[in-house]
Amino acid sequence: MRALLKLLLAPLLLLLGVEALFRAGAWEPFARPDSHAGTSILRKRALSSPAYRRIDYVTLGSSRPEYGLDHEALAALAQRHGRVHANLSMPGSHWMTLDVLGDWLARAHPEVRGGIIALSIQDFLFAGNGAYELGIVYPFHRLADVRGMAQHVPFTREDPATWGLISALFEYREDVRDALLHPRERRDSLAWWHARPAEELLRQNTHRDEDMCAFGLDALDACDKVEVAGGERAAGLARQCRELRSGAKGRFDLTAMTRQQPQPEFLQLTRDLVRARLRSLRWSTPPIVVLMPAPRVWQDAVSPSGLHDWALDVLRPLTEDGSIHLIDATTALETDGRTDCRLFFDFYHQNDAGRARLMETLLPQIAALLYDARAAPAPP
């Protein structure tokens, strides 16, 4: 029996050793920089540079704030007050990222006193946004976080993309395979990224100057125009159109659902998780939650009707008890109920002009909330 145990246990222990190494971040220096995990690793690496030894404020969120907020202006504002503001928004970030990254910041940078959490109303529909988010949080997570992560993306045996919850080897397996298949490209891209200064990643804006006026942003017929247009850009927009059409096809009445007693389980789960995640941030100033501008087509044709109200309902108790400051910019880039097509470069994201327009109103509010002691009430 002992011999049999040895036969099974010895290889298993070795495997667990490799798994532990991956869990501990042994693969992080080699991870693909433009993958979800790689994006996080680059930011984690940048945060270890001397310029960011002390951080006061952070911006968290997805690609919407990545493009839609002026990180250079926020960093400059902080600098004027003798503070450091780091942009940690990453494409694909959702509630799981907020949870795990928030915890990591509390451990690695307990000095962080506050920040901006930029979301869109679509983020309030579901607790999870897909297994890809495991990649974003992996470099920041601890074993103890796994249970919380599974609340956003449950483990499903049939879906290997979720196996990252139980094994770091599974989480990084595509990355390892890619590195072995393209070792030279991996080495070159890592060298290129590692040569970038930390400031570039944590405070610079990402620039886009195209607009959507050739297609429109108010109704699904914009997609008809996209589909007849040729070229690389139209191909990218066509991919978004597939998501839009799929959303429109499955559109439902959220208002009616929210009136049900009890509310559907997925709504209860989302509501409770969102509130718990935002309350769990251990910052000395309440986080500023910004609801980012959403083109009209989302509200009128794609997102479930009543989503905006639902998002506000979820956040209301938090604003009322002072846990957060809310800036609702969902319709900030609209004129007479129409989205200004000059301010977006696709169906999701603002362009440079859109960022500038939003910041005209947003920056003073943020400045007041973060740096004006009178305007910023003490947390409860």
Residue 160 as a binder of other proteins (CB under 8 A): the answer is yes
Helix (H, G, I), strand (E, B) or coil at 114: strand
**Stretch binding other proteins (CB under 8 A), from 168-176, 211-219, 235-243, 345-353:** 168-176
Q: Helices 307-320 and 265-280 sit at what angle, rounded to 10 degrees?
A: 40
**Which ranges constitute the DSSP H helices of the chain?**
2-23, 36-47, 63-68, 71-80, 95-108, 133-137, 146-152, 168-181, 183-194, 198-203, 221-228, 232-249, 254-259, 265-280, 296-297, 307-320, 352-371
Residue 139: CB minimum distance to other proteins, A? 19
Residue 6: CB minimum distance to other proteins, A? 6
Closer residue to other proteins (CB): 182 or 242 = 182
Closer residue to other proteins (CB): 12 or 238 = 12
**Contact residue for other proteins among 143, 181, 195, 373 (CB under 8 A):** 181
Closer residue to other proteins (CB): 3 or 228 = 3
Residue 191 as a binder of other proteins (CB under 8 A): the answer is no
**Stretch binding other proteins (CB under 8 A), from 13-21, 85-93, 226-234, 363-371:** 13-21
Closer residue to other proteins (CB): 121 or 131 = 131
Residue 30 as a binder of other proteins (CB under 8 A): the answer is no
Residue 256 as a binder of other proteins (CB under 8 A): the answer is no
Residue 172: CB minimum distance to other proteins, A? 8
Residue 229 as a binder of other proteins (CB under 8 A): the answer is no
Closer residue to other proteins (CB): 4 or 143 = 4
Phi, psi at residue 232, to the nearest 5°? -65, -40
**Contact residue for other proteins among 51, 169, 220, 367 (CB under 8 A):** 169
DSSP H or E segment with residue 338: strand 338-339
Contacts of 226 (CB under 8 A, 6+ apart): 215, 234, 237, 238, 241
DSSP H or E segment with residue 335: strand 334-335
Residue 32: CB minimum distance to other proteins, A? 14
Contacts of 89 (CB under 8 A, 6+ apart): 59, 60, 61, 62, 63, 65, 66, 69, 118
**Residues at the interface with other proteins (CB under 8 A):** 3-4, 6-8, 10-15, 18, 157, 160, 167, 169-170, 173, 176-177, 181-182
